[in-house]
Amino acid sequence: MKGIFNIHRIDFVLLGSTLILSGMGIMVIRSATAGGRFSGYPGRQAYWLAIALVAYFIGYFVDRRHLQRGAYSFYWVIFAVLVGLAVAGKWIGGVQRWIYAGGLTFQPSELAKLALILALARYFSGRKSSPPYGLEEILIPLLMVAGFAIPVAIQPDLGTAMFLVLISGVVILFLGVRWSTLIVLVVGAAAAAPSLFFILKDYQRDRILNFFSPGRDPLGTGYHVVQSKIAIGSGGLFGKGFQQGTQSQLRFIPEQHTDFIVSVLAEEFGFAGVLLMLGLLLFLTLYPFSYIEFTKTRFSVIVVVGITSAFALQAAINIAMAAGVLPVVGLPLPLLSYGGSSLVTTFLGFGIIAGYKRRR
């Protein structure tokens, strides 16, 4: 027991990197909210960071046998919460995604990402058949994904719903599927896409149309991306300085402390600041894969790959969204965007990964 809680076993490289990025996030949030109605958000983010640290060590010290055994229970708890949001969720900004408690709001769909990875890992680790898998063998995982994606899409949060599908796709492709199965899934998705487009809400359709035609509505539905690209381009090599960005300080960038926080960072710290951020994000994408050598079960390998891939994909999608390379989907930039739900879930995930090295 003493060895398990030995501080020398803690990987301060991984923990330190997450703390550095989180600290950068609080600094940029401070600039993005200075003098406005959200000026108290940097302090709230620091409070969430303290909670996230607790979550990190919960994930770090949790018994791996309990983690695997409880994967399905965790899934069903989150499923019940997501369904319950339709009745008792807190409405913010016209959507019903949050639980309100103790003066704080929490978004359960963030935990759904981690719960889905653990449930998929539990399922595939218990399969006696070897990959590549056929359609009949991935039917249950597809139902698991739908169980989360559908209630999240209803909130509505189409970006997170699609991201849940993307995470599961990465896990399944990592394990291996038959070419015939992959073709059926791709063709089915392509056939369903036109129908799904017409059941989207107006603002969701506008985001897609604006992506294909950036100049379609620059002062309306395309305003976010236009202002974001102006901010990124105006930062130059070293930026305009902390709290000196015109786009950010004059509040031209909507949601600049959440979805478009990279625009504020780029304007105030320039290419050098973005390069530092990208370097840290890349490190936190590649370094956790080194933990695979400490894993002893198929479950743990899938967990490490799933959590790390989810972090990398979400970061890439957010940055591409802010640069106008992808449609706006409302995914925060992990560790940097304001939001306690994302911060706590990210730290919890990294804590789970780090725990495998503890038992080497």
Q: Please tell me the predicted confidence (pLDDT) of residue 219.
A: 63
Specify the 3-state DSSP secondary structure of 203: helix
Q: What is the pLDDT of residue 42?
A: 92
Q: What element of type H or E holds 105?
A: strand 104-106
CA 285, CA 291: separation in Å to the nearest integer?
12
CB-facing half-sphere around the CA of 238: CA atoms within 13 A: 1
Q: What pLDDT, on a 0 to 100 scale, did the predictor assign at position 308?
A: 95
Backbone angles phi, psi at 95, to 5 degrees: -130, 160
> Which regions of the chain are under pLDDT 50?
1-4
What is the per-residue pLDDT for 8?
Answer: 56
Rounded Cα distance between 207 and 222, Å, is 7
The whole-number pLDDT of residue 215 equals: 65
3-state secondary structure of 329: coil
- The SS3 of residue 133 is strand
Model confidence over 31-88: pLDDT tens digits? 999 887 888 899 999 999 999 999 999 999 998 889 999 999 999 999 999 988 876 6
59 touches 351 (CB < 8 A)? yes
pLDDT at 1: 44
Helix (H) or strand (E) holding 229: helix 223-234
Boundaries of every domain in the chain: 7-358
**C-alpha span between 65 and 256 (Å, rounded):** 41
Interatomic CA distance for residues 234 and 264, integer angstroms: 10
Q: What is the per-residue pLDDT for 111? A: 94
Q: Of the candidates 22, 53, 42, which has an alpha carbon nearest to the alpha carbon of residue 257?
A: 42
> For the packed helices 108-125 and 158-175, what is the interaxial angle rounded to 10 degrees?
20
Q: Cβ distance 44 to 25 under 8 Å?
A: no
**What is the pLDDT at residue 266?**
94
Cα-based distances in Å from 191 to 84, 109, 154, 188, 195: 31, 27, 21, 5, 8
Residue 95 CB neighbours (<10 A): 14
Residue 101's pLDDT is 66
In this prediction, residue 102 carries a pLDDT of 65
- Cα 330 off chain centre by: 10
